[in-house]
Amino acid sequence: MKADEVLTAHHDILRGLLRDLAQTADDQTELRSRLRDDLLRELEIHTQMEDELFYPAVRDVSPRLSVAHAEHRQIDDQLATVMRMSVDDPEFRTEVRMLEKTLRHHTMEEEERMFPQAQALGEERLRRLGAQLEQRQRELAASGGMRLIIRLKRATLRLTGGHRVRP
Ligand SMILES: [Fe+2]
Ligand SMILES: [Fe+2]
């Protein structure tokens, strides 16, 4: 697959996870926790794949890289808010919907503007890059290092301010 196809397929997974998470009820705490962990893991993997491999590769053909980086930070901040909340918080769904909106906008911009610009790299380069992205995706998904990063990040998010203490 070409790089843009690999990333679009992963966008579908991210959008699906957020849609499923937004549809859970306040009392489906176990399902919510699981979907939230899946979302954290997949978003981490996606951001790393793009920041390490894809964005540097399109630097010369796409003028909107700084916007894309800023959007990654915004997604990270909104994800942090979702991670800090208790899954049965009445505001949980609202926060998830806001994250979903930001992610939909960001992925749409990539698919409709950045990926068409990336075609200037040529079919062969995009296929090689696609193979690298898939390999990195597999490595990150399988690595204990990634699991450790996620655990540490989750712990950090919960320890830093904004923690909602339930009565
Ligand atoms: Fe992105
Ligand atoms: Fe993306």
Give 118 Cα–ligand 2 centroid separation in angstroms: 13
Q: Which of 74, 63, 61, 138 is nearest to 107 (CA)?
A: 74
Give the domain ranges of the chain.
3-159
pLDDT of 162 over the 60 cut? no
Give residue 64's pLDDT band: very low, low, confident or very high (50, 70, 90).
confident
Helices and strands (H, E) in the chain, number of each type: 8, 0
Ligand nearest to the CA of 69: 1
Give 14 Cα–ligand 2 centroid separation in angstroms: 9
Mean pLDDT rounded to a whole number for the chain: 91
Give 20 Cα–ligand 1 centroid separation in angstroms: 20
DSSP string, 149-165: HHHHHHHHHHHSS----
Give 71 Cα–ligand 1 centroid separation in angstroms: 7
Q: 81-135: per-residue pLDDT in tens?
A: 999 999 999 999 999 999 999 999 999 999 999 999 999 999 999 999 999 999 9
Give 106 Cα–ligand 1 centroid separation in angstroms: 6
Ligand nearest to the CA of 8: 2
pLDDT of residue 43: 94
pLDDT of 165 over the 60 cut? no
